[in-house]
A and B are shown apart, each in its own frame.
Chain A
Amino acid sequence: MNGTLARFGRRIAPQLVTLAVVVAMIGIVFPGFFDISIANGRLYGSPIDILNRGAPVALLAIGMTLVIATGGIDLSVGAVMAICGAIAATLIVDGYSLPATLALSLGAGLLCGLWNGLLVAVLGIQPIVATLILMVAGRGIAQLVTEGMIRTFSHHGFASLGSGNLLWLPTPVVIWVCAGILATLVVRRTALGMLIEAVGINRRASMLAGVNARLLIVTVYMVSGLCAAMAGLIVTADIRGADANNAGLFLELDAILAVVVGGTSLLGGHFSLIASLIGAMIIQAINTGILVAGFPPEFNLVIKACIVLAILVLQSPALQGAAMLFSRTKGQP
């Protein structure tokens, strides 16, 4: 048990260090960063903003990690967010109850995932191509649902999913943390995680060993669709309106980036959900840091790119190998 814990610590150490460095850097540029107070019955401050604003990418990263672990990729999550948000806003405007609205929207997410999963696992289409279809078409579907306008609503219960509080925290934070814990328990307390990794490392070998790879792959895409649906509900509830053009736009890339920063290989195999979630927080910390630092907006993307580049270079196998070699030669007499 102690050994597993130590191994887990070593696994997420680079991500934790990176997050600490990014947060420290923001603290230097903007000294008021760490001020946390209680306002309107919840914690209030920039660190809380990072946890809150990072919720959509964190949720997407959970599904994306599992998909990537099987050697796949899901480009459609941004569009699925838009679809589910559009459906939820339309249903709530039409007078459906909150549970029915949530169930139908989450169901739509699962259906999108099922579509992707069938294309990949049954028809054998390459994941990047298969999910590209829904990425392009999905936004159009969302626009059809909203009839091309921003669907606004004033349902208090639904809005509180995005801007309400639970346990002194913004609701989205509670949602993604719970989803993260649940997913981790499911994949690590059962053999599921190991089976996913087996499929990712060698699908053929795992099938010969008796793993139902097809079912497993369809399932991870459905989980990804479900996570995207939750993210879509949160952003829709947050602005009290479904913006089919902009909801989740380019977020699939941030989600993939979170998984990569979290140290999971795009080739599939070993994965860590916790590391991906920390990766999502690193990305959001960079975003929030740029906003509070007060740079002109023209610099936003360049700064983000430079920081991400630095992180990935530090994590690159070549540099890690060199560091290991260096520490070994130093250790010898």
Chain B
Amino acid sequence: MFAKTLLGASLLASMTLLSSAALSQTIGFSQIGSESGWRAAETTLTKQEAEKRGIDLKFSDAQQKQENQIKALRSFIAQGVDAILVAPVVATGWDAVLKEAKEAEIPVVLLDRMVDSDKDLYLTAVGSDLVHEGSVAGKWLVDTVAGKDCAVVELQGTTGSSPAIDRKKGFEQAIAGAANIKIIRSQTGDFTRAKGKEVMESFLKAENGGKNICALYAHNDDMAVGAIQAIKEAGLKPGTDILVVSIDAVPDIFQAMAAGEANATVELTPNMAGPAFDALKAYMDNGTVPPKFIQTESKLYTQKDDPAKEYEARKGLGY
């Protein structure tokens, strides 16, 4: 009886040793769901980044429900993971579960979205600055038209959504110093291709068949793709007659850029996990405490950046 227990105990001990040697780190990732192509690409890239670093990633899809995310976080804590990544579906209601993680000494990193909880409750947040994205797009236009008069039409995101408000603000800040650039029309295209096309059609009619329009700024690539079709159907050349700049860098806009029909896009990178893993590694190995907000790069892509190659690199990510 005693010998049996001893054997069992030593077996258990050796198994624990083995597993901790084979798997350097276990990290739990609670994803919102897969409501958009961008979200799907974020999931794919997080898995890829984890594999690259030899991290054992425990993935949980919350299907847009906070209660599922809280359940996932609690189960990660119970399993004793080394760290937790979470893309919070809403901003409020995280205090209790974040405190539990803190008590268990498991660092939590927020991806892409913020929470309203006390900053001490999470290690850091990785995300993009929406205002900055808008200003990168605006700056590109200022540099491209180089002092020539330019009338801009703007396709806004869903009215009242934070990307729509911030991307508009950033663009306006960037062109504020350039008296030659003016926004003549601005309407919502609800972030969709169909509305982007319909609204662009009306802009073209309202502005002398499009002859008054020098550039289009769309708050996301999907609306730009729709608008490009409208411009073509009106007998104009998108990319030449009307400059097209948008945000997100989804695969289809690179296809349009390769065809010369779009001019520039600002990337909202779905690779939020890469910087998060790097920050976690530095924190765990050397105790380096990262800043509370790690801003991802809002990279500008133009027709010069080999759009055909970028399209090939992105099309398999699940966009």
Contacts and interface: CB of A to CB of B under 8 A. Distances in A.
Interface stretch (A40-48, A64-72, A93-101): A40-48
Contact of B206 (A30, A53, A239): A30
A246 B194 CA distance: 8
A246 B192 contact: yes
A291 B187 contact: yes
B198 A243 contact: no
Interface stretch (A123-131, A145-153, A258-266, A306-314): A145-153
Given A45-B205, A298-B159, A291 B198 contact: yes
A292 B37 CA distance: 31
A322 B197 CA distance: 44
By secondary structure, the A interface counts as mixed
Nearest to A44: B234
Given A46-B202, A239-B193, A291-B187, A297 B226 contact: no
B37 A246 contact: no
B246 interface: no
Given A53-B198, A149-B318, A294 B185 contact: yes
Interface in B186-235: 186-188, 190, 192-195, 197-199, 201-203, 205-206, 208-209, 222, 225-226, 229, 233-235
Interface residues of B, number: 37
Contacts of B40: 148-149
Contact of B192 (A49, A240, A243): A243
A18 interface: no
A235 interface: yes
B252 interface: yes
Interface string A7-40: 0000000000000000000000010100101011
Nearest to A45: B205
A40 B235 contact: yes
Nearest to A287: B198
B319 interface: yes
A297 B195 CA distance: 13
A296 B226 CA distance: 21
Given A44-B234, A296-B186, A297-B156, A149 B37 contact: yes
A95 B22 CA distance: 46
B194 A292 contact: no
A245 B222 CA distance: 13
B116 interface: no
A288 interface: yes
A241 interface: yes
B66 interface: no
B173 interface: no
Interface string B53-97: 000000000000000000000000000000000000000000000
B295 to A, nearest CB: 27
A198 interface: no
5 contacts: A30-B206, A149-B318, A245-B36, A246-B193, A297-B159
Interface of B: 34-37, 40, 156, 159-160, 185-188, 190, 192-195, 197-199, 201-203, 205-206, 208-209, 222, 225-226, 229, 233-235, 252, 318-319
Interface of A: 30, 32, 35, 37, 39-40, 44-46, 49, 53, 148-150, 152, 163, 235, 238-241, 243, 245-247, 288, 291-292, 294, 296-298, 300
Given A40-B235, A149-B40, A298-B159, 15 more contacts: A32-B206, A39-B235, A46-B202, A53-B198, A148-B37, A235-B194, A238-B194, A243-B193, A246-B190, A288-B202, A292-B202, A294-B185, A297-B156, A298-B160, A300-B188
